[in-house]
């Protein structure tokens, strides 16, 4: 079995705030680690925004939608005693689940007392790093299959309090890998190691393969993305019936025509 050794982190050096401001934020519960051993990448802001990852810029008015989504998820996690591992999926492809997962993770990372880890669990088509416009040839499958050190697959995209795992070549037999003892142990470690961290898993559509059904029992909550005027009611109901109902936090209606 592979050993899970995470990138160490330390308090972030603050180059933009005065010492008194930093101390005030810390007293209010602001958490801001720097992942010292993870690979740092620079995002192409224009490309990222062009791919609708608007939460990269907190000043864009539409990011308020994701702040509302964040608040709803935080409230439901507290009220329903959910944990902090959340899977984002959809019924069928092209619903916008990856973009939703990215924007949600970025927004959660801006919450005062939380950090966020975004994990690409679509082993058949790794899309998170492509959507964020950076190169990555290692992903979660490399850790599970080839004993790649965990710190070697984690990327820090120079966004405060956010780390990402995405990359590597597509693989077969992915549902077996997602349901494996190694994956189960990894998620348990992710949940327990840093109590202030949310882990967001971007998983394949429910009706296209069995991967998501293998992952669902291991996470605490599920968010289902539905594309307006595209996803049929039949497909939505089929997907919901296949998922553990007690874990469904809710549905996100995406791409509503203006």
d(Cα 258, Cα 252) in Å, to the nearest integer?
A: 16
Which of 13-17, 25-29, 117-121, 252-256 shows the lowest per-residue confidence on average (mean pLDDT)?
Answer: 13-17
Residue 255 has a CB neighbour count (10 Å cut-off) of 15
Q: Locate the DSSP E strands across the chain.
A: 9-11, 33-35, 39-40, 85-90, 115-120, 155-156, 162-165, 197-202, 221-227, 248-254
pLDDT in tens, 16-33: 444 545 555 555 555 566
At residue 118 the predicted structure's pLDDT band, cuts being 50, 70 and 90, is very high
At residue 4, does pLDDT exceed 80? no
d(Cα 22, Cα 32) in Å, to the nearest integer?
A: 10
With a pLDDT cut of 90, the percent of the chain lying above it is 59
d(Cα 120, Cα 135) in Å, to the nearest integer?
A: 14
Specify the pLDDT at position 1: 42
pLDDT in tens, 149-193: 998 999 999 998 999 999 988 887 788 999 899 999 999 888 888
Write phi, then psi, for 211 (nearest 5 degrees): -60, -45
CB 197 within 8 A of CB 114: yes
Specify the pLDDT at position 192: 81
d(Cα 10, Cα 197) in Å, to the nearest integer?
A: 15
d(Cα 170, Cα 122) in Å, to the nearest integer?
A: 9
**Of 159, 156, 89, 84, nearest in space to 114 by CA:** 84
d(Cα 42, Cα 251) in Å, to the nearest integer?
A: 32
At residue 15 the predicted structure's pLDDT band, cuts being 50, 70 and 90, is very low
Work out the angle at residue 75's Cα, subtended by the Cα atoms of residues 246 and 198, and round it to the nearest 5 degrees.
80
CATH number, span 31-254? 3.40.50.300
Q: In angstroms, what is the C-alpha Rg of the chain?
A: 18
At residue 2, does pLDDT exceed 80? no
Mean pLDDT of 31-42: 72
Specify the pLDDT at position 23: 57
Indicate the SS3 state at residue 219: coil
d(Cα 86, Cα 223) in Å, to the nearest integer?
A: 7
Specify the pLDDT at position 14: 45
């Amino acid at each position: 079995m592979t050993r899970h050794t995470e990138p160490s982190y330390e308090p972030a050096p603050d180059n933009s705030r005065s010492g008194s401001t930093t101390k005030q934020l810390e007293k209010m519960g602001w958490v801001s680690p720097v992942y010292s051993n993870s690979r740092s990448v620079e995002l192409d802001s224009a490309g990222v925004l062009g791919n609708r990852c608007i939460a990269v810029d907190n000043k864009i008015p539409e990011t308020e939608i994701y702040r509302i989504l964040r608040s709803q998820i935080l409230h439901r996690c507290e009220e329903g005693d959910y944990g902090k591992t959340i899977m984002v999926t959809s019924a069928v492809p092209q619903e916008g689940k990856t973009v939703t997962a990215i924007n949600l993770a970025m927004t959660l990372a801006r919450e005062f007392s939380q950090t966020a880890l975004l994990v690409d669990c679509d082993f058949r088509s790794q899309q998170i790093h492509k959507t964020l416009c950076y190169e990555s040839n290692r992903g979660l499958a490399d850790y599970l299959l080839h004993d790649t050190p965990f710190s070697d697959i984690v990327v820090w995209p120079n966004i405060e309090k956010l780390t990402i795992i995405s990359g590597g070549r597509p693989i077969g037999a992915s549902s077996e890998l997602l349901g494996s003892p190694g994956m189960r142990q990894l998620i348990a470690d992710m949940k327990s190691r840093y109590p202030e961290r949310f882990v967001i898993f971007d998983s394949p559509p429910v009706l296209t393969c069995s991967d998501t059904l293998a992952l669902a029992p291991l996470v605490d909550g599920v968010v289902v993305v539905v594309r307006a005027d595209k996803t049929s009611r039949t497909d939505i109901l089929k997907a919901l019936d296949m998922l553990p109902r007690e874990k469904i936090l809710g549905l996100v209606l995406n791409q509503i025509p203006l």
